[in-house]
Structure 1
Amino acid sequence: MTFRNLMENFNKHFRDNLLMYLLTILFLCTGIILGIYSVKYMSNNDKSSLVNYITSLSQSSTLEGINNKAIFFEALKSNLPIIIGYWFLGLTIVGIPVILVLCIFKGFSIGFTISFFVYSLKDRGLLLAVLGVLPQNIIYIPCVILASVLSIQFSLGMLKEKLNKGYKGSKGSSVAGYSVSFLFLIGFMILGFLLEAFITPSLIKFALKGVSM
């Protein structure tokens, strides 16, 4: 399959499932907003502890001689189970609410992290958020959105089959096709793991120098 055919198939998939994409993005944004506001209501002691921890990193050798392979496998261990979880939930009829809740949690973690850096460290925190958080999430977020939509789509297909005995899903709704889509998704996420392990640490070191200034 050529890249052009792949994009045409994705564009068709996007148009056919536009409402699902909008719903998923809505829940993700809800999580981001909740994460932003949670920082506002943190106690001053909690904020001070986190700020002191971040500042101490810039004054230590924590990031010197960093183990990139260890970061890669940690990113793999942290994110791969989530994608597999989306895949599994799509195989269940009752998985849709859990899928949407996972979107909220993902958005919350992003919103909290970025908001904390900016709220506590101002411009230097914005630099740390942009260089340390956003690069890998440029890959992770679209993957989470696509995984959510694929899961919801497959789950709804199963529900239709259960409610309507005469309903027959398309070939793309088969478990094999569904699983292959997730394998491609995991392959794309590996790019994010590599970015987080081998590029982001250098960007964080650069940002932490700014924090210590």
Structure 2
Amino acid sequence: MRRTWNETIQHHMEEHLSLYVFTTVLFIMGIVFGSLAVGALTVEQREGLLEYLMHFFNGLEQGAVADASTALKHAAAHHLKYVGLMWILGLSIIGAPLVVVLIFLKGLVIGFTVGFFVRELSWNGLGFVFLSVFPQNLLIVPAMIIVSVASIAFSLSLLRNRIIQRRGAIYPQFVSYSFLVLAMACVLVFASFFEAYVSPSLMQTVAGKLGMVWPLFS
């Protein structure tokens, strides 16, 4: 069974290799644009974000972190809504371009976050992001890319079967598509557990060791 599952994944990757390359490049472009957007911030916007970080890091030092169960609900809801939207878009012929936009925006957010921390905190900011944000994204980002590829591929299949060829059964592909999205949703729920129960402790530890307090911003 395990071998069959591995072969299925390998076949899926090989069949949609061009889409994986495309979405990965698009995601990286989002990261690049997000990091460049940091330089376009006005002084007022920069000061507002720094003030928010001041309260955030002071709260970490004092042990004021969100309740883990509440954080889990918020993180899981956010990820599942994102994936659910991709799944719904994949069920329509015109959904593929919107899925492309979503994966680009995902990279944009990550690029902006990393870029802002590095720009304002230099190596301290990079260390904070690497240890407190990067680990869960090792699961989140690949899962999002897989779902985006599956959504685009299914949308293109709808286009071929319903508009161009006007034939062919789509139900088996729909089942495979939905099963893959469900599997990635489970991965995202697991990442949400890490994000809710492990990341806060890492953030407290890193913030304390690096001395990330308000004087560092001034």
Identify whether the pair has TM-score above 0.5, normalized to the shorter chain: yes
Gaps of 5+ in 2: none
* Residues 52-61 or 101-110, more deviating: 52-61
Label 1:96 to 1:131 Cα distance change in 2 as closer, same or farther (>3 A).
same
Q: CA contact under 8 A between 1:90 and 1:96: conserved in structure 2?
A: yes
Q: CA contact under 8 A between 2:65 and 2:200: conserved in structure 1?
A: no
How does 1:1-213 map onto structure 2 within 5 Å? 1-2=1-2, 4-60=3-59, 63-64=63-64, 66-162=66-162, 163-168=164-169, 171=172, 173=173, 175-209=174-208, 210=210, 211-212=212-213
TM-score relative to the length of structure 1: 0.92
Q: CA contact under 8 A between 1:34 and 1:111: conserved in structure 2?
A: yes
Distance 1:160 1:65 in 2: 50
1:133 CA displacement: 1.5
Gaps of 5+ in 1: none
1:92 CA displacement: 0.3
Secondary structure of the corresponding residue to residue 149 of structure 1: helix
State the one-letter code of the partner of 2:4. Answer: N
Distance 2:203 2:189 in 1: 20
Distance 1:65 1:169 in 2: 47
Distance 1:11 1:76 in 2: 28
Distance 1:126 1:157 in 2: 42
Label 1:181 to 1:122 Cα distance change in 2 as closer, same or farther (>3 A).
same
Secondary structure of the corresponding residue to residue 59 of structure 2: coil
TM-score relative to the length of structure 2: 0.90
Q: CA contact under 8 A between 1:117 and 1:126: conserved in structure 2?
A: yes
| Structure 1 segments of 4+ aligned residues over 6 angstroms from their partners | none
1:206 CA displacement: 1.6
Distance 1:166 1:184 in 2: 29
Distance 2:79 2:120 in 1: 27
Task: Give the root-mean-square deviation of aligned CA atoms.
Answer: 1.8
Q: CA contact under 8 A between 1:63 and 1:201: conserved in structure 2?
A: no
1:201 CA displacement: 0.4
Secondary structure of the corresponding residue to residue 144 of structure 2: helix
Matched positions, count: 210
Secondary structure of the corresponding residue to residue 64 of structure 2: coil
Secondary structure of the corresponding residue to residue 59 of structure 1: helix
Q: CA contact under 8 A between 2:23 and 2:100: conserved in structure 1?
A: yes
Distance 1:190 1:141 in 2: 13
* Residues 49-58 or 26-35, more deviating: 49-58
Percent identity between the two aligned chains: 28
Distance 2:115 2:133 in 1: 11
Distance 1:198 1:119 in 2: 28
State the one-letter code of the partner of 1:13. Answer: H
